[in-house]
Amino acid sequence: MKKIIEGLTFESQVCKLSTFMSLKLLKLRWRIFFWTITGRIKKMHSRLQLTLSQGNPENILIIFPMDEPSFRVACYAFRDLGKENVHKRQFIFIVKEQFKDLFHLRIGSSIFINYTDQENILSGEKNLLHTLQQNKFDIIVDLNPKFQLAISRLISLMKSDMKVGFSSDFSDKFYNIQLDISKSGIMEKGFKQINWILAQ
């Protein structure tokens, strides 16, 4: 009888957790929907131009992951970034302030931001947008393998022909190039694909 009760307790806990996760997902969907219809998130244009502008410097914005394990993998995967065509490309990197001492790319310029997982809107978003909108980016790359609403919202408010990110339940609204690593689960493969896109 005790085993049956323990089994029921475990099942009820799993059910409660599942309900909680469903409510959290529903809340996120509603927030994205509301922001989309009110213009706080810009709609993604499906038209995609794969050729980068020729003759002008290529402006590339790369947003590094907001969690430390993914950030470390991304730093390793992009360690050789810009060794070719450095004179033609201008990189801007957005990095979490907490990881400033771990970031060692020697090209481009870096912007360090304060970020917590609980944020729906980045603190200092207006100032950051003002700084970034002085550039017209050919490519914006989000290296966060897990969906980050505040980061995706920032990307939606910026103009670029190519917006690259990882596939998720919400990625259709934010990225016109999506990388799916759900089958392999290997983040580095996704980063290699992005490196390939940037090398074109």
Residue scoring higher pLDDT (1 or 104) = 104
Tell me: the pLDDT tens digits for 153-195? 899 899 888 899 998 888 888 888 888 877 766 778 888 888 8
23 and 63 inside one domain: no
68 and 23 inside one domain: no
* CATH number of residue 137's parent domain: 3.40.50.2000
35 and 72 inside one domain: no
Segment 108-113 shows an average pLDDT of: 92
15 and 63 inside one domain: no
Out of 32-41, 65-74, 138-147, least confident range: 32-41
Tell me: the pLDDT tens digits for 72-108? 999 999 988 867 665 678 899 999 999 999 998 888 8
What pTM value is reported for the model?
0.74
pLDDT score, position 194: 86
pLDDT score, position 135: 86
66 and 135 inside one domain: yes
The whole domain housing 16 covers 1-40
User: Are 174 and 36 a contacting pair, CB within 8 Å?
Assistant: no
- Residue 166 maps to a domain: yes
- Is a pLDDT exceeding 60 seen at residue 21? no
- Residue 46 maps to a domain: no
- State the total domains in the chain: 2
160 and 63 inside one domain: yes
- Residue 63 maps to a domain: yes
31 and 109 inside one domain: no
27 and 89 inside one domain: no
pLDDT score, position 52: 45
